[in-house]
Chain A
Amino acid sequence: RKEVEQDPGPFNVPEGATVAFNCTYSNSASQSFFWYRQDCRKEPKLLMSVYSSGNEDGRFTAQLNRASQYISLLIRDSKLSDSATYLCVVNGGAAGNKLTFGGGTRVLVKP
């Protein structure tokens, strides 16, 4: 089983709609969680950290469920510019203090 798993998608989303997807992690000792965004042929960029109580940044909401070992990302009012691959990243646990990346979830927002 992979340490960090994501649905690869693609999620085809009409512009203005809401989309949500999860990421599961295998090691309960994992300490920090992040969502990164990666555009085609570019480096990943930090979208947001994920806090235990859940957090929101504009149209983006992240949740952490430690009991079920998953994190989620919800995008409201999707924009065409939200089209990207969203990487779930976990720090700690089996990998120590190193980042472990999920395979990414591809989101395509269409007019």
Chain B
Amino acid sequence: GAVVSQHPSWVICKSGTSVKIECRSLDFQATTMFWYRQFPKQSLMLMATSNEGSKATYEQGVEKDKFLINHASLTLSTLTVTSAHPEDSSFYICSAEGLSRSGNTIYFGEGSWLTVV
């Protein structure tokens, strides 16, 4: 079963509206979660590091006022795409670090496909 759950899997929204994506760690606490974006046929690009109880750390070129990240609990981080535009259409995916038989392992959520029309 999923170790990291992401919701929604698919979302279509109108240009100018905001969309919230949730990332939950199941059965483990994640003080740090990561948000990525992947455009078609491209690699995953780290957008920001979400830290529980403090401000997120954004990668260069990522607008923090447009991509709002909230990590209010040890099992939930949210990404809100504000005033979405068609160029924001992408695959958004989160990850969290958990403990496995092999030691610390990065687990990914199932991803969220955002289409802005």
Contact = CB atoms under 8 A, between A and B. Distances in A.
B43 A103 contact: yes
Contact of A104 (B6, B43, B46, B108): B43
A44 B102 CA distance: 17
Contact of A98 (B46, B93, B108, B110): B46
A102 B108 CA distance: 16
Nearest to B105: A46
A104 B44 CA distance: 9
A49 B111 contact: no
Question: Is the interface on chain B under 10, 10 to 19, 20 to 34, or 35 or more residues?
Answer: 10 to 19
A49 B105 CA distance: 10
A45 B102 contact: no
A28 B108 CA distance: 26
B43 to A, nearest CB: 4
A99 interface: yes
Sort chain A's interface into a size bin: 10 to 19
Contacts of A42: 110-111
B42 A43 contact: no
Interface in B46-83: 46, 49
Contact of B106 (A41, A46, A103): A46
Contact of A43 (B45, B46, B49, B93): B93
A46 B106 CA distance: 8
B43 A101 contact: yes
Given A98-B46, A99-B34, A45 B108 contact: yes
B108 to A, nearest CB: 4
Nearest to A88: B43
Interface of A: 41-46, 49, 87, 95, 98-104
